[in-house]
Structure 1
Amino acid sequence: VDENLIDTPVVAPPMPLPPIVEEKAHQEEFYTPVYQDPVYIDRTPAPVEIPDEPMVATPKKPSETTPTLQSDNV
């Protein structure tokens, strides 16, 4: 008779399954906002104001130092 009583409680596990569906819904909510951020393409104009040419000139100086290091190897 005890076995029969244990069978009834086994029906409780199915309940936890529904909560899993709620977790999926939350993930979708987070994904939607993440995609909205990239839509802000208005930020592209701001970076254009920063002079990119000067930045390229800085790396050129370090290039001159590279040959000096080679001399040490000799």
Structure 2
Amino acid sequence: MPNEPENPHRVTITADGPLLVAGPVEVTCADGTVVTSRRFTVALCMCRRSRIYPWCDTSHRRSRPPDQNPRGPT
């Protein structure tokens, strides 16, 4: 296809967690702020509970009742 990038970035959607993106990445937030991460893989928060939003800090794990946590109690 003519619009296909030569080296596409891989994005992984997780069931109950962050969006994983092959880094490095540059994220433009809703307020126009641009943040950058040079990490190999970046976890982007999807629940908006993270204290370091837009990066995931695993806050989503603490927001579910223990019986709904697939990894057991946290």
Q: TM-score, normalised by structure 2?
A: 0.20
Q: Look at both structures and tell me which one has the larger radius of gyration over its CA atoms.
A: 1
Higher relative contact order at CA 8 Å, sep ≥6: structure 1 or structure 2?
A: 2
Q: TM-score, normalised by structure 1?
A: 0.20
Higher helix share goes to which structure?
1
Higher strand share goes to which structure?
2
